Amino acid sequence: MGVNVTVKSYRPQVEAKLLANLDKAMERVGAIVERQAKKNTVTPKPSGKVHPNYKDTDRLASSIIHWIERDGNSISAVIGSNVFYGKYLEFGTVNHPPYPWLFPAVELKKPQIVELLKGKGTESGLEFR
């Protein structure tokens, strides 16, 4: 009386779907912050103050991009610009006060990012906690 039992694991498929959903979520995080950072370069700060030496040419805004980086089990959304003066605006110099455009984008969008990564913004129904 032999009984054949077959055990099938769906772990690889589930892990692949989780990773794909995490990639999509991080891509959305990058896009959210990128859009806000672009807005921050062309609109006055919430205080209404604009850096006195900043002349908006749209060059910085149009150069801001995002990409996803993976390093082992770590995944990051990276947002940046190749315009040399972007870092000087963000952090200031000895002669000019900072005109932050990137860090405030992350801070402003933090609640939306948290909700997205919790799973509220995913189509799959899989939740990240």
**Annotated domain spans of the chain:** 12-118
pLDDT of 121: 46
pLDDT in tens, the chain (129 residues): 678 888 888 888 888 888 888 889 999 999 999 999 999 887 555 555 655 556 667 899 999 999 999 888 788 999 999 999 999 989 999 988 888 999 999 999 999 999 988 875 445 444 444
Helix (H/G/I), strand (E/B), else coil: 65: strand
pLDDT of residue 34: 97
Which residue in this structure is represented by tokens 């989780």?
Answer: 18
Predicted confidence at residue 127, as pLDDT, reads 47
| Residue 83: predicted pLDDT | 93
Q: What is the pLDDT of residue 97?
A: 86
Extended strands (E) in 1-129: 65-71, 74-80
Q: What is the pLDDT of residue 11?
A: 87
SS3 71: strand
Q: What is the pLDDT of residue 22?
A: 87
Euclidean distance between CA atoms 29 and 125, whole angstroms: 18
Token pair of 120 as six digits: 């509220």
Q: Measured between alpha carbons, how far is 21 from 18 in angstroms, rounded to an integer? A: 5
Q: Could you say which DSSP state residue 129 is in?
A: -
